[in-house]
Amino acid sequence: MSHYIIVSFETRKPELSPAEFKDYYDNVHVPVIQEAMGSSFPKSHARYYVKQQSEDPNNANSTLPLVLIGSVADIDYDALVIMTFENRQQFLEFQTKYGEPDIAAKIGASADKFTIQSKLKVIGLDHPHITFG
pLDDT in tens, the chain (133 residues): 579 999 999 999 999 989 999 999 999 999 999 999 999 999 999 999 999 887 766 666 667 888 889 888 889 999 999 999 999 999 999 999 999 999 999 999 999 999 999 999 999 999 889 999 9
Query: What confidence score (pLDDT) does residue 82 get?
Result: 97
Pairing between β-strand 63-65 and β-strand 52-54 as defined by DSSP bridges: antiparallel
The 3-state DSSP class for residue 32 equals: helix
- The structural domains of the chain, with segments of one domain joined by +, span 4-125
CA–CA distance, 102 with 36 (Å, rounded to integer)? 9
Structurally, what CATH architecture does the domain formed by 4-125 represent? 2-Layer Sandwich (3.30)
User: What count of Cα atoms within 13 Å lies in the side-chain half-sphere of residue 96?
Assistant: 8
- Per DSSP, the residues of 54-79 read ES-TT-TT-EEE--SSS-GGG---SE
Query: What confidence score (pLDDT) does residue 52 get?
Result: 87
Please give the DSSP secondary-structure letter assigned to residue 24.
Answer: H
Query: What confidence score (pLDDT) does residue 59 get?
Result: 65
